[in-house]
Amino acid sequence: MIYKLNLLGFLLIVVAFFLGIKLPDWDFKLRLRHRSILTHSPFVTIILITLYEIDSGYFFKYFIVGFSSAIGIHMLFDLFPRKWHGGALLKIPFNGLTCSKETTKLFFVATSLISIFLAIFYMTDTKEYFFVLFFSVLIFIKKRKYENATIKPAIIFALLYLILGILKFEILFKLLKQIYILS
C-alpha cells in the first residue's frame, strides 16, 4: 500500500496544513487588526483554487487540501474564545468595522464549513481523506495545551468531516455500514 502513496503530495499536504493553521494569525504580521476578515476567511483558499483552475498543476491540489483543512480547523478553534469581545470579533479593515458576536460566529461557522468542504472536494481518494483526518487528530491533540476549547471544535470537525466525506466517498458509507452490521 505504501508504494501507491504519492509521498510528494502528502508532504505538500503537511506543509500547506502548517501554513493554513498559522495564516489567520498572520493578521498581526500584516499589520491588520486581530481576526481580520482578510485572514480569517476562505478568501486565500479561493484565490489558490482560482490559480489551480487556471493552471491545474497536479501537485497544487494537495496544497489546497492541506491548506483548506487547516483554515477550517483554525476557524473552529476561533469559535470558542475566552470572551466574545474585542480581539475575538471579526474585523473588516476597509471601513474599520467590528462585527457583532452573532455575525462573527456565523462567519466562522461558514468559513469552517466552506474550508472543510473545499478540502474534501479536492481530494481524489480515501488515502488523502484518512491522512488529513489522522493529521487533524494530531493537531487537535497538540492544540489542547494552547486553545481555550478543544473538545467542541474536535467534535464539530469530526461531524463535518465525516458527513462531507461520506457524501464525497461512497466507500466511507459502505465501510461505516459494514462496521454497524458487525457490531
DSSP helix/strand/coil, 141: helix
Q: Which amino acid is at 42?
A: P
From residue 130, give the alpha-carbon distance in Å to each of 17, 35, 120: 14, 30, 11
Using alpha carbons, list the distances in angstroms from residue 180 to 155, 159, 165, 175, 176. Answer: 20, 17, 17, 9, 6
pLDDT in tens, 149-174: 899 999 999 999 999 998 888 877 77
* pLDDT tens figures, 60-93: 899 999 999 999 999 999 999 989 988 899 999 8
pTM above 0.85, yes or no: yes
Contact between residue 79 and residue 108 where contact means Cβ atoms under 8 Å apart: yes
- What mean pLDDT do residues 19-28 have? 90
Domain positions in the chain are 2-182
In this structure, what DSSP letter does residue 183 have? Answer: -
